[in-house]
Amino acid sequence: MTARDLASLASLLADGTRAAFCLALLDGRAWTAGELARHAGVAASTASEHLGRLVAGGVLAEERQGRHRYVRLADERIAQLVEDLAAWAEPGTAPPRSLRAANARGAMARGRTCYDHLAGRLGIAITEAMTVRGLLRQDNGFALTDAGVDWFRGLGVTLDRTGRRPVARGCLDWTERKPHLAGVAGAALCRHALEAGWCVRIGSERAVKVTADGERALHGLLGIAAPTLR
What integer is the mean pLDDT of 103-132?
Answer: 90
Distance separating alpha carbons of residues 60 and 227, to the nearest angstrom: 38
What residues contact residue 128 under an 8 Å CB cut-off, 6+ apart?
none
Cβ–Cβ under 8 Å, residues 111 and 99: no
Instruction: Answer yes or no: do 60 and 111 share one domain.
Output: no
- Mean residue pLDDT of the chain comes to 88
Q: Is 199 helix (H, G, I), strand (E, B) or coil?
A: strand
Instruction: Answer yes or no: do 42 and 125 share one domain.
Output: no
Dihedral angle at the C-alpha atoms of 35, 105, 109, 188, nearest 10 degrees? -10
Instruction: Answer yes or no: do 32 and 125 share one domain.
Output: no
Please, which residues bridge with residue 118 across strands?
Answer: 113
Q: Which residue segment(s) compose the domain that 128 sits in?
A: 99-229
Query: For residue 47, which of 32, 36, 57, 60 has the smallest C-alpha distance?
Result: 36
Q: What pLDDT was estimated at residue 75?
A: 87
Instruction: Answer yes or no: do 165 and 103 share one domain.
Output: yes
Cβ–Cβ under 8 Å, residues 208 and 136: no
Where is the domain boundary, 57, 74, 91?
74
Torsion sign, CA atoms 36, 40, 42, 45 = negative
Residue 215 lies in a domain: yes
DSSP letter (8 states) at residue 30: -
**Ranges 90-94, 163-167, 225-229: which has the least confidence:** 90-94
Q: What pLDDT was estimated at residue 100?
A: 65
Distance separating alpha carbons of residues 26 and 85, to the nearest angstrom: 12
Per residue, the 3-state secondary structure of 61-120, as one string, reads: EEEEECCEEEEEECCHHHHHHHHHHHHHCCCCCCCCCCHHHHHHHHHHHHCEEECCEEEH
Residue 175 lies in a domain: yes
Instruction: Answer yes or no: do 42 and 131 share one domain.
Output: no
What residues contact residue 207 under an 8 Å CB cut-off, 6+ apart?
104, 107, 108, 110, 111, 112, 120, 201
Residue 41 lies in a domain: yes
pLDDT, greater one: 29 or 217: 217
- pLDDT tens digits for range 51-110: 999 999 999 999 888 777 899 999 888 988 888 887 776 555 555 566 665 677 778 889
Instruction: Answer yes or no: do 111 and 44 share one domain.
Output: no
- pLDDT tens digits for range 167-190: 999 988 878 888 999 999 999 999
Dihedral angle at the C-alpha atoms of 89, 95, 98, 104, nearest 10 degrees? 40
Instruction: Answer yes or no: do 221 and 130 share one domain.
Output: yes
Please report, for the domain that includes residue 62, its CATH number: 1.10.10.10
Instruction: Answer yes or no: do 43 and 120 share one domain.
Output: no
Half-sphere exposure of residue 85, counting CA atoms within 13 Å on the CB side?
15
pLDDT, greater one: 174 or 17: 17
User: What total of structural domains would you count in the chain?
Assistant: 2
Neighbours of 61 (CB within 10 A): 15
pTM: 0.76
DSSP letter (8 states) at residue 196: T
